[in-house]
Structure 1
Amino acid sequence: MRILVANVNTTESMTAAIAESARSVASKGTEIIGVTPRFGAESCEGNFESYLAAIAVMDAITSYSEPFDAVIQAGYGEHGREGLQELLAVPVVDITEAAASTAMYLGHKYSVVTTLDRTVPLIEDRLKLAGLDARCASVRASGMSVLELESDPERAVAAIVAQSREAVENDRAEVICLGCGGMAELEESVATATGVPIVDGVRAAVTIAEGLVRMRLTTSKIRTYATPRPKKITGWPLNS
């Protein structure tokens, strides 16, 4: 089984970290391929960058020349999953939805702890669109940018732990979802500080993708995610 894990930004080191996190839970025989878009922003923290990433990820995935069995979109609250599902028959798993759906097996209410406050509405919208918002206690911002997760990890962990504690103590969350692909590997630190289960979206997405492939399930092509109708598209960057 081969799973493509698509970073939504162009930072190669983050792609490597995300792919390594995915491999840590992948089953024997599952090959994880990290994919970095050839264009886009170095980090995604707003609507413009998210819409840009949606096109960049579609370009990167459709440009991949080898066969693959599933795709993971490793951006929290990002746009584009639906477009990928139109282009592909294989399962497409978004880490925002994977984390939230997994969290609901572990507790009554979950909270998401993410990066900057400006990303909170994007995550809230993605959870609402997916029908996963009813059991979301809160979406909290740590105040750390995506790139600071790499450049200042000690301060990032402290900020994420602080907001996770607030979510558990004040919002009554019973599970914490780490709201950024770049937060991989932080589960232990946050779990120790809060005493609740911590869900990383990348790892949750791997287990879901593997399960879908094993069950031989594919994306429905009847209505919503039917293959795009053939037509002339001017200036489209895909595969150009």
Structure 2
Amino acid sequence: MRLLVVNPNTSASVTGLIAAEARRAASPGTEIDAVTAAFGMAYIETRLESVIGGYAAVCAAAEHYERHDGVIVAAFGDPGLGGMRELFDVPVTGMTEAALASACLLGQRFSIVAISRRIKAWYRECVQGYGLETRLASIRSLEQPLANIATVQDDHAERLVALCEQTVVEDGADVVIIAGAPLAGLARSVRGRIPVPVVDGVSSAVRHLESLVALDPGAAQTGSFARPPAKPNQGLPPRLAAMLAAGRP
């Protein structure tokens, strides 16, 4: 099995964190290829940035999807996920969707720990979009500006652990989701320090996608996730334009 992991952000160092955790989580024999968006934001905090990241992710996936059995959107909030499901025949999942699914299998109420205050409103809307707002205990975040997106785990490790503990003690969380690509792998390293299950979006996405590929459910030929109809367009990257014009890949 070969999986493509797409970072919708432009931070190659964060792609390295994502790829390392994806490979740790993958089953023996699963190959992981990770790619970074060619344009856009260093990291995503807002609705507008998620729109930019979604387009960047679709473009990157279109360039690299061949010879892969599934695709992962490796940014919390899953920018571009729905569009990729329309575009590709292979299964596609995202960090948020997979983390929420894992959390719901581990407890009744979950909390999310994030990297910035600004990101919280968008994350809440993402949870609502998946129909799980009644199971959300809280969203807590770092408050101070980030000096370096690639070193958030090292720079703020103790504060992140404290936030996880607060969601359990003060908010009643049964499960904690540590959110965001820059925090990939942190759940693995702090698991023994948090008194409830801790979920990582990258590892969840890898394991859920492996299951989807193994199930071999087929692709949508009709319905809301069928390929968009061919129509005139301009300014699109050549590979994406060709896929939209040619029918299913």
* 1:55–1:29 distance in 2 versus 1, CA, 3 Å: same
Distance in structure 2 (CA, Å) of the matches to 1:58 and 1:173: 34
Deviations 1:45-69 (CA, angstroms, capped at 9, x unpaired): 1122211111111001111163111
Distance in structure 2 (CA, Å) of the matches to 1:209 and 1:165: 29
Distance in structure 2 (CA, Å) of the matches to 1:26 and 1:60: 22
Q: Quote the RMSD (CA, aligned, Å).
A: 1.9
Q: Partner letter of residue 99 of structure 1?
A: A
SS at match of 2:33: strand
* 1:166–1:115 distance in 2 versus 1, CA, 3 Å: same
- Aligned residue in 2 for 1:96: 96
The reply to whether residue 55 of structure 1 matches residue 55 of structure 2 is yes
Contact 1:96–1:123 (Cα < 8 Å) also in 2 = no
- Aligned residue in 2 for 1:20: 20
Q: Partner letter of residue 29 of structure 1?
A: G
Deviations 1:20-58 (CA, angstroms, capped at 9, x unpaired): 100101111111000111111111111222111111110
In structure 1, the gaps of 5 or more residues are none
- Aligned residue in 2 for 1:231: 231
Contact 2:175–2:197 (Cα < 8 Å) also in 1 = yes
Distance in structure 2 (CA, Å) of the matches to 1:212 and 1:145: 38
Judging by fraction of residues, say which structure has more helix: 2
Distance in structure 2 (CA, Å) of the matches to 1:99 and 1:65: 23
Contact 1:115–1:144 (Cα < 8 Å) also in 2 = no
| Aligned counterparts, 1:41-80, within 5 A | 41-64=41-64, 66-80=66-80
Distance in structure 2 (CA, Å) of the matches to 1:202 and 1:215: 20
What TM-score, normalized to structure 2? Answer: 0.90
- Aligned residue in 2 for 1:178: 178
Alpha-carbon distance, 1:148 to partner: 3.4
Contact 2:78–2:95 (Cα < 8 Å) also in 1 = no
Contact 2:26–2:206 (Cα < 8 Å) also in 1 = yes
4+ runs of 1 displaced by more than 4 Å? 144-147
Give % identity.
35
* 1:118–1:177 distance in 2 versus 1, CA, 3 Å: same
Alpha-carbon distance, 1:154 to partner: 3.4
* 1:36–1:51 distance in 2 versus 1, CA, 3 Å: same
SS at match of 2:139: strand
The reply to whether residue 169 of structure 1 matches residue 166 of structure 2 is no
SS at match of 1:33: strand
| Aligned counterparts, 1:1-240, within 5 A | 1-64=1-64, 66-143=66-143, 148-237=148-237, 239=239
Alpha-carbon distance, 1:8 to partner: 1.4
Distance in structure 2 (CA, Å) of the matches to 1:161 and 1:8: 26
Alpha-carbon distance, 1:107 to partner: 1.4
Which has the larger displacement, 154-163 or 115-124? Answer: 154-163
Q: Partner letter of residue 151 of structure 1?
A: T
In structure 2, the gaps of 5 or more residues are 241-249
SS at match of 2:10: coil
Distance in structure 2 (CA, Å) of the matches to 1:41 and 1:29: 33
Which has the larger displacement, 136-145 or 211-220? Answer: 136-145
SS at match of 1:207: helix
Deviations 1:92-148 (CA, angstroms, capped at 9, x unpaired): 111101111101111121101011111112111111111222211111112366763
* 1:224–1:60 distance in 2 versus 1, CA, 3 Å: same
Deviations 1:68-106 (CA, angstroms, capped at 9, x unpaired): 111110111143111111111111111101111101111
Distance in structure 2 (CA, Å) of the matches to 1:225 and 1:38: 26
- How many residues are paired up? 240
* 1:122–1:212 distance in 2 versus 1, CA, 3 Å: same
Q: Partner letter of residue 126 of structure 1?
A: C
- Aligned residue in 1 for 2:247: none
* 1:218–1:152 distance in 2 versus 1, CA, 3 Å: same
